[in-house]
Amino acid sequence: MKKFLNEFKEFAMKGNMIDMSIGVVIGAAFGKIITGLTDCIITPLIALIINAIFHVESTDQLFSSIVVGPFPVGQLISTVIDFLITAMVLFAIVKAINEIQTLGHKEAEEEAAPTTKVCPYCKSEIAIDAVKCPHCTSDVE
């Protein structure tokens, strides 16, 4: 959980607005799918589980009672599950973006690896694997 928070903080601090927008848009899209999923599968499943525990006569009656009320617990449970799944999906997206960014940074660092060195005698920039300076003809390591 601490790692999660740190990574999120890092993302929130370093991530630019485009990354964030992508995350939010994908999250919203996933949110709709997840809402559909919970409405179609998880809520009826909760009804079935409750039915199995309490042996209610009619599953339809129970289902409608937990979804529409008088105490729409099903709605609340669905919303909580929606939130949890959406948060997990968002975190996965955030993590993926973080990894892509880290990869990008690593590549940039590798590209920035020195290809030249400075001649200790004339201070000219010479090839990293040069053994003789082309400027002052000194022997270099």
Residue ranges binding Zn ion (CB under 5 A): 119, 121-122, 124, 133, 135-136, 138
Question: Toward Zn ion, which CB reaches closer, 14 or 135?
Answer: 135
Nearer to Zn ion, 93 or 133 (CB): 133
95 versus 117: smaller Cβ distance to Zn ion: 117
Report the alpha-carbon distance of residue 141 to residue 135 in Å, rounded.
15
- Contacts of residue 134, defined as CB under 8 A and 6 or more positions apart, other chains included, come to 124, 126
